[in-house]
Amino acid sequence: MITLAKKDRSKMTAAALGKIPCDLSIENARIINVFTGEIMEGAVDILEGIIVRIREKDQKSEIPSKQILNANKRYLLPGFIDTHLHIESSLMVPENCGKAVAIWGTTTIVTDPHEIANVHGIKGVDYMLKNARKSPINIFTLVPSCVPSLPGLESAGADLQAKKVGKLLDEDGVIGVAEVMDYYGVINDEKRMHDIIIEAEKRRMFIQGHSPTFTGNNLNAYLCGGPKSDHEAVTAEEIYAKRKLGMLIDLRIHSPEQAKSLLKGVEPGLFKDAISLCSDDVNAHRLIKYGSLSRALADLIQEGLDPLMAIRFATYNAAREYEFSDIGAIGPGYCADLQLVDDLTFVNHPHLVFSRGKIIAVDGHYQGDVLDRAKCNLGNSINYININGADDFRIKAEGKSSRQVMVVNEGYQNNTPVYETLQAKGDYLELPSNKNVNYVCVLNRYGKANKTICLYRDFGLKNGALASSIGHDCHNLCIIYTDPEDAYKAVESLKECGGGVCYVKEGEVKALMELPVAGLMSDLPLAQIAAKCEKLEEIIGQECGVENYSLHSLNGIVFCTLPVFERYTPTDLGVVDGPRKRFVEYIK
């Protein structure tokens, strides 16, 4: 078990018996009991950040506490626990991400610094661990298990083999190994994944899973391989199949439609102790609007899940998943990580959020210091790109009148790559104007000359170039474009500012979001980076004529290069069939 707080048992028992005063009493509250699934009226007494007593309605305290807070019949519940979050996807460093989720009632997050590990290796993970200690909430870290995600099929800035993973597992604040996304490597007992899992097992640490679409023999083999949980299930049938085999389910809900669909996999069976909630990848301007878990609870409750069950998913169940012994509930000996809410719809901010009995947020406003800029000394990670001009973003004709170029987002389900014929114009191929295709280029940013250019259909880009130094999971540069001149300009702009997302049209930078921390995160606080993120998507939508562009713009480009999913994927080394671990011919 993992115990978060040091406790003076002598003082605690004395306070519980009314022999010494407590620091804080929250009176006249409707207390959510996640042990029994009840709501009780009463009071909670807190000493040195720890709950020492729950008093029933009308039970008076023998000695008044130093501070008494009248809840006015609001609901008092534990702070939420987000079981899987990539802080880098928030576009903020850990201390600022913690402040951002706190205002929506999340007081603990379990994070996987997989993204920065791919860029900076151990140095990057160490930065995240140290910066997380400045956060007002609990931030626990799982060591990335797949850096790079598929060795030999893509290039990263680091390579974390078992020995390095073991070294990181011994750091303070680390509680296990993060999502084991090389799921075929696990079931085929490949040495890299086998040895990394053993490092966690010999320390009796948690092994987080990642097994999209796995059922039947594959799922049985994956669980035998060591991983315990999954957050990738996207159908009710998959959730139910995994529940029946004892897998821990981290529900990832980002819309009412998802909630309605996935609840069908939650409903069967009497026991639901193995279900918790996670946010996974949420960027800044969605965090500021909806928080990390509040939106998921709101959607689940709206679709019919009992509010008390939803709360249990986000608190007690989550704590049990990671064997946290003193968070996730309101009871004697538990940390006073709490929230006070007006109702159980979770569409609004909590009235108050407490961390260790101290108020850290009031009605959506963080109560601590907000720095203008967070400190980071990792340096510019976009300095090593081998390009010389716009021609580097064109496909050579090689003396032919035409060539066939692969459309990477089509044909995988039939195991039949789709190609478009591009006509030559001079020494290079020309993008057809009537096929709804863009160029997509993945460009190595770690000093190698690796580069892949192919086609992507129906991305929505009508003009210019969209470039990003966020490109899961190795975070090479990804550029989607119609004009090679604009692509070159966009990449040069990212090199200058240290990374981010840039949109260029007709040689002019129309939108730029600087992410100087590893090319993944901003050093700005929530409000500023959220505004920049929202403005970027707004401008791209206007320039490209894409309706509801914010629904897919950033995710569309940053996940375009992730090769572990069952699809064709461009990396800096070529186009890969990730699950089958092979390259596919992309230019004929």
pLDDT at 544: 66
pLDDT tens-digit series, residues 95-154: 999 999 999 999 999 999 999 999 999 999 999 999 999 999 999 999 999 999 888 999
Fold of 77-366: TIM Barrel (3.20.20)
Predicted local confidence at residue 369, as pLDDT: 82
- Give yes or no for residue 39 having a pLDDT over 50: yes
Closest CA to 104 of 367, 365, 344: 365
Model pLDDT, residue 322: 97
Beta-bridge partners for 533 = none
Alpha-carbon distances, residue 320 vs 35, 49, 217, 308, 487 (angstroms) = 12, 21, 27, 17, 48
Percentage of the chain lying above the pLDDT 70 cut: 98
Mark residue 459 as left, alpha or beta (left: phi above 0; alpha: psi -120 to 50; beta: remaining).
alpha
pTM as predicted: 0.94
In degrees and rounded to multiples of 5, residue 482 shows phi and psi of -110, -25
What are the structural domain ranges in the chain?
77-366, 390-584
Q: Is pLDDT above 60 for 432?
A: yes
Which amino acid type is present at position 573?
Answer: L
Q: Are 462 and 433 in contact (CB under 8 A)?
A: no
CA proximity to 231, closest of 435, 419, 84: 84
CA angle 240, 149, 450 (to 5 degrees): 145
Q: Is the pLDDT of residue 456 over 80?
A: yes
503, β-bridge pairs: 466, 511
How many residues belong to the chain?
A: 588
Nearest to 105 by CA among 362, 368, 371, 329: 362
Residue 550 contacts residue 537 (beta carbons within 8 Å)? yes
- In this predicted structure, the answer to whether residue 567 has a pLDDT above a threshold of 60 is yes
Q: Which of 205-209, 335-339, 533-537 has the lowest mean pLDDT?
A: 533-537
Give 68's contacts (C-beta < 8 A, 6+ positions apart): 24, 25, 27
Whether 551 shows a pLDDT value over 50: the answer reads no
d(CA 447, CA 155) in angstroms, rounded, equals 10
Segment 344-400, tens digit of pLDDT? 999 999 999 999 999 999 999 999 887 778 888 888 888 778 899 999 999 999 999
- pLDDT score for 162: 97
Higher pLDDT, 537 or 172: 172
Give yes or no for residue 414 having a pLDDT over 90. no
pLDDT at residue 550 in the model: 45
Establish whether the linkage from the previous residue to 372 is cis, with ω within 30° of 0: no
Query: Which whole number is the average pLDDT over 29-45?
Result: 98
Per-residue model confidence as pLDDT tens digits over 325-356 = 999 999 999 999 999 999 999 999 999 999 99
Per-residue pLDDT at 323 exceeds 90: yes
Contact criterion met (CB below 8 Å) for 85 and 106: no
202 burial (CB, 10 Å; 0-12 / 13-18 / 19+) is exposed
Within 10 Å of residue 245's Cβ, how many Cβ atoms? 12
**Per-residue confidence (pLDDT) for residue 148, from 0 to 100:** 92
- Mean pLDDT across 237-245: 97
> Residue 19 has what pLDDT?
97
| pLDDT score, position 334 | 98
Band the pLDDT of 90: cuts 50, 70, 90: very high
Could you say which DSSP state residue 267 is in? S
pLDDT score of 547: 53
**Parallel, antiparallel, or unpaired for β 338-341 and 275-278?**
unpaired
451: tokens are 């580069």
- Kindly tell me if the per-residue pLDDT of 553 is higher than 70: no
| pLDDT digit string, tens, across residues 497-526 | 999 999 999 999 999 999 999 999 999 988
